[in-house]
Amino acid sequence: MGMTITEKIIAAHTESKQLRAGDFAKAARPDICLANDITAPVAIEEFEKAGFEKLHDPGTVVLVPDHFTPNKDIKSAQQAALLRTFARKHGVEHYFEVGRMGIEHALLPEAGIVVPGDLVIGADSHTCTYGALGAFSTGVGSTDMAACYATGTVWLRVPESIKFVFHGDLRKYVSGKDLILYTIGRIGVDGALYKAMEFTGPTIRQLPMDARQTVCNMAIEAGGKSGIIEPDDITREYVEGRARRTPTFYNSDPDAQYCREYDYDVSKISPQVALPHLPENARPVEEVSGTKIDQVVIGSCTNGRISDIRQAARIISGRQVHRDVRLIVIPATQEVYKASIEEGLVTIFIDAGAAFSTPTCGPCLGGHMGILAEGERCLATTNRNFVGRMGHPKSEVYLAGPAVAAASAIAGKIVHPDEIA
């Protein structure tokens, strides 16, 4: 019986030659152990409380202060300082200071730190992003991270896999964000609970890497343990010249076992908008057109890459943000920021009346740089719209891709991009 790509990668990081869904990988060896300015302080405290004095392998540790940075207050400054001190003490090479950092899940692939075939754990739920490269990546708790710092291993139960097959031609303005919102809308926020969501089919194979990362990023919003896409020529082209380690390209065997399979014709999918307060409340944009908004956020680990900024800028160019709307644009990394400057995209947004920020997770988690007041409504390219996610518990967050977000910022209400063309 064949193995899925997920089973193969996990097995390759253990002493086992073969693992099946439901098996326990009792001492899997991650290639990367990632944490940020919210989760790393807890891991560090637990590591030191247990009496450990040395990291098992500093080369696997990655620390990215991105949630409350640049620091918004004294407490966040203290948390960032804890990371900085720990990194210096233990010789952590992959520590990214403000000015060199980016939003972690965009930064690591861009910097070549994660490569195909890796096993990645991260003390952040959107660690599943790296499945876009053909890696098994999943979120863990901070205490699990502390144990991995000390031992270099982690316990995992091998997840069952669900296959999602996408075929057909994408409509204009439909992106990876729309595919994953549509999927979550179909199966629900618990439809893939502790499952590996394997995305495949002709449409997926044509998606650029940025879009693949968006799709895998939101696997957790369906309850998934991970999201993953088999690596191919697009993957190879992306990692060549940037991979810091030798990648391994795994694929699923033809006779691999899946607990469920779904098949979607993307030619029937319109740009999507997820209504409050769950990502599963996805609707075609036409069904919510006209909904008034107060703020638009374009950015995050989901949609802050250069292709997202470019798409939004093409729609914004030569127009003005509606006088009743605040448009906040946040590039995911310094490289994206730099490219946005060099290509004149920052000027387009500023001339339109938008704010353009240094990389930060900021408003996505209600941290800073765009907190909502009571009764306010935001359309965001972020990944979650839970109650109080971006500020006041009586505010509302709608989720969409960059094209719908940009068009809506101009219109002052949620619209299909064709409405302002």
pLDDT in tens, 405-417: 999 999 999 999 9
Strand ranges of the sheet holding 377-380, from the earlier edge strand across to the other edge: 282-284, 272-274, 396-399, 377-380, 295-298, 326-329, 355-356
**Per-residue pLDDT tens digits for 179-191:** 999 999 999 999 9
Q: What is residue 421's predicted lDDT score, i.e. its pLDDT?
A: 67
The token pair at 71 is: 């620091």
What band does 26 get if pLDDT is binned at 50, 70 and 90? confident
Residue type, 263: D
CB-CB contact of 369 with 357 (8 Å): yes
Mean pLDDT of the chain: 96
Q: Enumerate domains of the chain plus CATH numbers.
A: 5-264 (3.30.499.10), 272-420 (3.30.499.10)
3-state DSSP call for residue 359?
A: coil
| Other CB atoms within 10 A of residue 346 CB | 20
420 pLDDT above the threshold of 90: no
Residue type, 90: H
What is the average per-residue pLDDT within 416-421? 89
What is the average per-residue pLDDT within 29-58? 96
**Cα(180)–Cα(101) distance, integer angstroms:** 27
58 pLDDT above the threshold of 90: yes
CB-CB contact of 186 with 211 (8 Å): no
Closest among 217, 223, 214, 205 to 159, alpha carbons compared: 223
**Per-residue pLDDT tens digits for 212-232:** 999 999 999 999 999 999 999
336 pLDDT above the threshold of 90: yes
Q: What is residue 57's predicted lDDT score, i.e. its pLDDT?
A: 96
286 pLDDT above the threshold of 70: yes
What band does 322 get if pLDDT is binned at 50, 70 and 90? very high
Tell me what percent of the residues of the chain surpass a pLDDT of 70. 100
**Cα(34)–Cα(364) distance, integer angstroms:** 19
**Per-residue pLDDT tens digits for 115-146:** 999 999 999 999 999 999 999 999 999 999 99
What band does 1 get if pLDDT is binned at 50, 70 and 90? confident
What band does 160 get if pLDDT is binned at 50, 70 and 90? very high
The token pair at 41 is: 């302080």
